[in-house]
Structure 1
């Protein structure tokens, strides 16, 4: 069948509108339809207002301004015939089979041959949806279950029916993988599919067991969260985020669809406190609050939590110190601990892992699909079978037996063996029949995780490593906490540049952490400042400038491959690369002013060069200078790779990869494409207006201060930035070298680093994660 070139989404609710926005993020035109608006002259007002809401949503549904323009609103009375132009029609209306089937009959009358129709349902079996609709419809129909919000949640569950053509599944799966950036998991047509079947069981078990073990919600979240590799919201915080009022409907749907002896049924019991909360409007963050709420007292905000047993509100309190201590130990020690939190953790996790094992052969034949579903759909760091390997299948079986719980067949046959094992450098996974099968990545996926199974680093220290990723390309990896940049990274990068020049064609800078780099290590900087080790700080600044310049002037191409945060020094390293291949969810910016500093590893210099040569601005130095000042002085961070192009943190020729797992392969290909005829870029030269421009920028800052939008110390920091960008003691007749601007960066950085106001900002950022407005 043909490739997907245009998409329609029917249903402009939260999910449907979000799906439409994300398809637009992928660069495709989208038709968004809903029913006719009854109380508006615009018959398509429901869809139109949904698009307006998307543009104001936080976090943003759109990756850039251009994406919003690709979505066209319409209604199913006037615009249904436009479906004839669409290659994929996604239905995302109410979870009622009768309404969906009525819509499908109308769609079937107008859609073109070969177009795909899919439902975003999470509760209705595919066989029910296609019943009585004919072979033509059934052959082109499947379930595509997105998770909310569609832009950010990577999981897409795909369910094919008995009549669905294989090429339909292949086309949608490939499109979702490459263009939408989804981790596609094939599911069987079972209630709840995989992620919600297991995820809802886990949530219900965690809530019910908290009541049974007389735990506070703070204790439960402390135990269920980070110790198990689950987001720090834990369970009760996650339910607040999802919406408490959604859970009774999901639970009722699963309970009706599952057999009476399914383990879920034992946990699907009414909880009076929760029912009362929902009735009173405490439905989570979208309502007045949920298990946690924010109240105002004495002019400030107070976070409160509900007592599960009395139903009364009280100030949030830290979990019992003993609970925190126990939870902070290794997972086996937590589950073996003879305490309320240990017994709670053991009951929830052992039964959740047991339920996952029961789903093998039912919801999915491959245990890896269940792991993928929970990692991508619920943000678990490890899937349930990876957790089983961490604990030991024998330990888990013994724990279940001790609790009086049955041991699932898959777990019993794993006795004494790992679910995952490595054989001759590649991963294998235990199958339901007891045999191991190779766990292969999709074509075009290259991960350092796999390279590390078969090779050792070329260079390595405590903060970084250099790897051979094949075809003459090396990969430099940050490995520090949050990939913060420190002297070890700079030192190893300098050594790596020399080694790559001798033995390789190109270099990629990439890692598989949650952040590409959160910037320079502020903790080290604060420590050095507190002991007045100013020479050490100045040496670090100078070494950073020297190393970054060596990176840009290397005799081979360098490609940066960020994903997640690339802030401060992490942004600056990208600015010095020949090209960037960025994951779509890259958040790039120069944020130093927030901690009372200025970019000093060439960030000011490079941004001036970009806006002077690449920016679509009027001629002369002031427009570029003003644009860079605006961006850096406000610590602007691009909220996507697409937005980073608008801000020139990325250039037009830099690439964007939608699927995180394909980033390294794409970056490697970009690096190899630059090899033939490569020559490093020349050093930059500037003509800047000097004191007159600085005066103008200072006046602009003073105006903002008078409006109360900038603090006194903001004026000091911005004054330093203004002096750098205007060229210091110069005028428009003088040509400034790159060295001169780098010296200005270094001088102002050091002057600010010595000030107590800057040290206060750094300390506050380290303690709270929030900027200090002093």
Structure 2
């Protein structure tokens, strides 16, 4: 199996350009080509313009703007020779067979032997793409269907042809998995493959049934949302996000390609209302709105389309009796005697039946369909996991009552669930009617698997310590949103003592959506409201002590974050010996947003990093000013790569692209640190004292006068300035960590008593947004 060291993407549209950006995110050189620009002296203007747009796009296709240096732009008229040394050539041009095949002929003339060519198509069969092409080309050709946006969507559907080399598929799969962070699903050469074929059927069914029952779109999005484990965009919000104008094209493509007896044809009905919206420019969020819109003439009022009248009206809170009466539990919702219960059943039962019908057609693997919908459409549960929640027998009974055909896999199941755990092993039902072990790819360790076979070493209501083998322990947060509370701090200290005695190393990791959103603000507000100031002060001291124990523990500690790692969640990472971060890690010290400053050592750790690792002019003020800027503006990294630029991660810390590989990589890093490990030495700081604090406060005051900072921003930033400058000290007098922690603790406790801080905390808990007081 050859390595992929250089990639080319042909087609610099939104999708092709974004694929190129994500290859660059992996640190791999990539060539981006498009057609020659007409009436432009710069013949490569299209590809160059696409790169410029990538650097400005939000959400950002690049994990760091520095990644753009890996992209080389050009045009297919002059620069096809750039493909000569590429190992993987990705075609992402318009969905026209003649254009693709003409391009393939040109590529075939220039590419090196053994290079892999793939198409990003989602509508044209592989057989049609390679028809008439040389045998060498057919052997090296596959389909690699990325999902948009490629950086954030983890699904990659791969289709091999009759003649495709097995090692070509293996090479691309390994690269996509490890370097691009993709979960690769193998599909048969069928129209729409898996995710879009099922996803489009689901959306079309949901819209048709909503129109038929004349429901409010807010009701629909509430029903097809949380109760089914589907993102809060629901149906109509998702269509707005993807684009209404894409629906007719996708539907027409599937309709032309699918067999005449496919159930899709039943729901693929004309929708004059949608056609009218598109004609009037309502193409979704990228246009002036879709099923929802913002009426700027009415003070940015959010409006929803009334499906009965075809006119917009103010958005209203949905009243769904089926959900309010406990119908958020799926079985109760589906059985509810109301129009909403009937709607939920009609949409979900038909979608699940269609998913079942894909087994043996689009794929033979039940688990592949579930993974495709979890990662391609962000469903919390795949369709067969939903069937298990409902019960196979209940679904079959309901389908029979509706006179709906029963797919073969449902008959094969004979009422049994599709998933089970046997002797600590996860298993899935196959087409042969027997259960098969669900195997992870080589090099993947998941805590959820470990939990099936073992019990925690230590545990309380908010955290647990697990033995993950080879002398490595894993500390896991289990509280809601992994918010940090006294129970977590207590168990962390107990774990440090136990790991020192019984293990070689510690990894801090969990499999929640977010590593940690920071301290539990609800507890803090409660303590403040009853004037339990001593409890707040003790919690800050306890956290400082625990994080200090972590930093100076006699064994290596590796933090393994993914998602948000904010406030105290960021601070725990700052005290680890090393970090193995998932690429999509968003970390920062955000305490100023709730009227506080970091209280668990984050200030001193950031000072130490910028003094020792920051490439700044000499002297204390550049480092202090930089840390002040980062903390006072509650800066959060938009990726792990950006976290390195901010020094939330060190240059030596590592990044894992595939979320599933994070724990294994963190464990390996921890074990690599074990030989001859010595805890870090304590540090001292030479801080300027009041003169530095005055300079920082003057800068904040100027922002206040310009209207860029609020009155309470000045209060909080002033407290931060005093801590970072070392209090009432002199640059010739060393300030040790203990003293700096005391300043931090005193400033935190003082701010916690202020009405302005309490107002910010309450507002954050109520709205999820910072208060600008």
TM bracket, shorter-chain basis: over 0.9
* Residue aligning to 1:756: 755
Residues 322, 336 of structure 2: 8 Å contact kept: no
Shift of 1:297: 4.2
CA distance in 1, matches of 2:377, 2:17: 21
Query: Is 1:578 aligned with 2:577?
Result: yes
What is the rounded CA distance, in whole Å, between the counterparts of 2:753 and 2:40 in structure 1? 61
Whole-Å separation in 1 of the counterparts to 2:142 and 2:338: 48
Match of 2:259 in 1: 259
The equivalent of 1:345 in structure 2 is 344
C-alpha separation in 1, matches of 2:128 and 2:656: 37
Shift of 1:227: 0.7
Give the distance between the partners of 1:327 and 1:228, measured in 2 at CA. 13
Partner of 1:522: 521
Counterpart in the other structure of 1:89: 89
Q: Which residue of 2 aligns with 1:76?
A: 76
Would the alpha carbon gap of residues 710 and 372 (structure 1) be closer, same or farther in structure 2, given more than 3 Å must change? same
**Cα contact 1:273–1:309 (8 A) shared by 2:** no
- Corresponding residue of 1:26: 26
Show the counterpart of 1:768: 767
* Cα distance between partner residues in 1 of 2:686 and 2:703: 28
Deviation at 1:620, TM superposition (A): 1.3
Conserved 8 A contact 1:147-1:153: yes
d(CA) in 1 for partners of 2:400, 2:526: 52
SS of match in other structure, 1:428: strand
Q: What pairs with 1:372-383 in structure 2 (closer than 5 Å)?
A: 372-383=371-382
Q: CA deviation at 1:267?
A: 0.4
Q: For residue 590 of structure 1, what is the aligned residue in structure 2?
A: 589
SS of equivalent residue, structure 1 residue 69: helix
SS in 1 for 2:490: helix
Task: Show the counterpart of 1:664.
Answer: 663
Measured against aligned partners, the alpha-carbon deviations of 1:482-537 in whole angstroms (never above 9, x if no partner) come to: 10000111111111111111111111000000000000011111111111111111
Q: Which residue of 1 aligns with 2:126?
A: 126
SS of corresponding position for 1:305: strand
Deviation per CA, 1:544-603: give whole Å up to 9, x if none.
101000111111111000000000000000000010000000001001111111001000
* Structure 2 residue 193 is matched with structure 1 residue 201: no
SS of structure 2 residue aligned to 1:746: helix
Contact 1:326 1:337 in 2 (8 A): no
State the match for 1:15 in structure 2. 15
Distance in 2 between residues matched to 1:323 and 1:42, nearest whole Å: 61
Contact between 1:219 and 1:323, CA under 8 Å: does it hold in 2? no
- Counterparts of residues 152-231 of structure 1 (less than 5 Å): 152-231=152-231
- Residues 222 and 327 of structure 1 are in contact (CA less than 8 Å); yes or no, is this contact kept in structure 2? no
1:51 counterpart residue number:
51
Residue equivalent to 1:655: 654
| 2:721 alignment counterpart | 722
Looking at structure 1, the residues matched to 321 and 435 of structure 2 have their Cα atoms a distance apart, in angstroms, of 42
Partner SS, residue 127 of structure 1: helix
C-alpha deviation, 1:712, in angstroms: 1.1
Q: SS of 1:72's equivalent?
A: strand
Q: Report the Cα distance in structure 1 between the residues aligned to 2:158 and 2:625, rounded to whole angstroms.
A: 49
Q: Distance in 1 between matches of 2:743 and 2:36?
A: 61
3-state SS, counterpart of residue 304 of structure 1: strand
Q: Which runs of 5+ in 2 are unaligned?
A: none
Instruction: Classify the secondary structure of the residue corresponding to 1:519.
Output: coil
- Work out the CA distance in 1 between the residues paired with 2:129 and 2:767: 50
1:433 alignment counterpart? 432
Distance 1:554 1:507, change over 3 A: same
The Cα of 1:214 is off from its aligned counterpart by 2.1
Tell me the equivalent position of 1:243. Answer: 243
The farther-off stretch of 148-157 and 55-64 is 55-64
8 Å contact from structure 1 (residues 255, 264) kept in 2: yes
* Contact 2:219/2:320, CA 8 A, preserved across alignment: no
SS at match of 1:85: coil
Distance in 1 (CA, whole Å) between partners of 2:413 and 2:568 is 47
Distance 2:404 2:242 in 1: 30
Task: Report the alpha carbon displacement of residue 328 of structure 1 after superposing the two structures with TM.
Answer: 4.9
Q: 1:329 offset after TM fit, Å?
A: 2.9
Counterpart of 1:479 in structure 2 is 478
Q: CA deviation at 1:321?
A: 4.9
Q: Could you report, residue by residue, the CA deviation over 1:427-479 in whole angstroms, capped at 9, with x for unpaired residues?
A: 11111121211111100010011001101111111111111100110100001
Deviates more, 1:703-712 or 1:242-251: 703-712
* 1:39–1:773 distance in 2 versus 1, CA, 3 Å: farther
Separation (CA, whole Å) in 2 of partners of 1:570 and 1:459: 20
- Secondary structure at 2:300's aligned position in 1? strand
Structure 1 contact 564–587 (Cα < 8 Å) conserved: yes
User: Paired residue for 2:535?
Assistant: 536
Are residues 1:287 and 2:264 paired?
no
Are residues 1:745 and 2:730 paired? no
Report if the CA contact (8 A) 1:294-1:303 is conserved. yes
Deviation at 1:215, TM superposition (A): 1.2
Distance in 2 separating the partners of 1:412 and 1:590: 54
Q: What CA distance in whole angstroms lies between the structure 2 residues aligned with 1:538 and 1:92? A: 58
Q: Which residue of the partner structure matches residue 268 of structure 1?
A: 268
| Cα pair 2:323 2:333 within 8 Å, conserved | no
Q: Distance in 2 between matches of 1:400 and 1:459?
A: 47
Q: 1:644 is paired with a residue of what secondary structure?
A: helix
Residue 213 of structure 1: CA displacement? Answer: 2.1
TM-score by structure 2 length?
0.99
| 1:302-341 matches, cutoff 5 A | 302-326=301-325, 328-341=327-340
Equivalence for 1:490? 489
Contact 2:320 2:340 in 1 (8 A): no
Q: Structure 2: how far apart are the matches of 1:98 and 1:290? A: 33
Whether 2:695 is the aligned partner of 1:688: answer no
Once residues 754 and 301 of structure 1 are traced to their aligned partners in structure 2, the CA distance between those partners, rounded to angstroms, is: 36
Q: Please report the RMSD computed on the Cα atoms of aligned residues, expressed in angstroms.
A: 0.9
Structure 1, unaligned stretches of length 5 or more?
Answer: none
1:125 and 1:189 in contact (8 A); partners too: yes
The alpha carbon displacement at 1:323 in A equals: 4.5
Distance across 2 between alignment mates of 1:671 and 1:563:
17
Give the secondary structure class of the aligned counterpart of 2:763.
helix
- Between the aligned partners of 2:342 and 2:499, the Cα distance in structure 1 is 53
* Secondary structure, counterpart of 2:118 in structure 1: strand
Stretch moving more, 554-563 or 703-712: 703-712
* Counterpart-to-counterpart distance in 2, 1:380 and 1:65: 30
Q: CA deviation at 1:38?
A: 1.4
Once the 2 structures are TM-superposed, how far is the Cα of residue 160 of structure 1 from its aligned partner?
Answer: 0.3
**Quick one: distance in 2 between partners of 1:670 and 1:119?**
36
TM-aligned CA deviation for residue 155 of structure 1: 0.2
**Alpha-carbon distance in structure 2 between the residues aligned to 1:657 and 1:327:** 40
What do residues 216-249 of structure 1 show as CA deviations (whole Å, max 9, x unaligned)? 1100000101110111100100000000000110
Counterpart residue number, 1:101: 101
Distance 1:497 1:40 in 2: 65
Whole-angstrom CA distance in 1 between matches of 2:305 and 2:241: 16
Is contact 1:5-1:86 (8 Å) kept? yes
Measured after TM superposition, the shift of residue 750 of structure 1 is: 1.1
Take 1:31 and 1:518, find their aligned partners in 2: how far apart are those partners?
Answer: 38
Scaled by the length of structure 1, the TM-score of the pair is: 0.99
Cα distance in structure 1, aligned partners of 2:327 and 2:642? 39
How many angstroms apart in 2 are the aligned matches of 1:522 and 1:44?
53
Mapped to 1, the partners of 2:311 and 2:199 lie a distance apart of 28
Counterpart of 1:158 in 2: which secondary structure? Answer: strand
Greater mean alpha carbon deviation, residues 33-42 or residues 482-491: 33-42
Residues 1:147 and 2:147 aligned together: yes
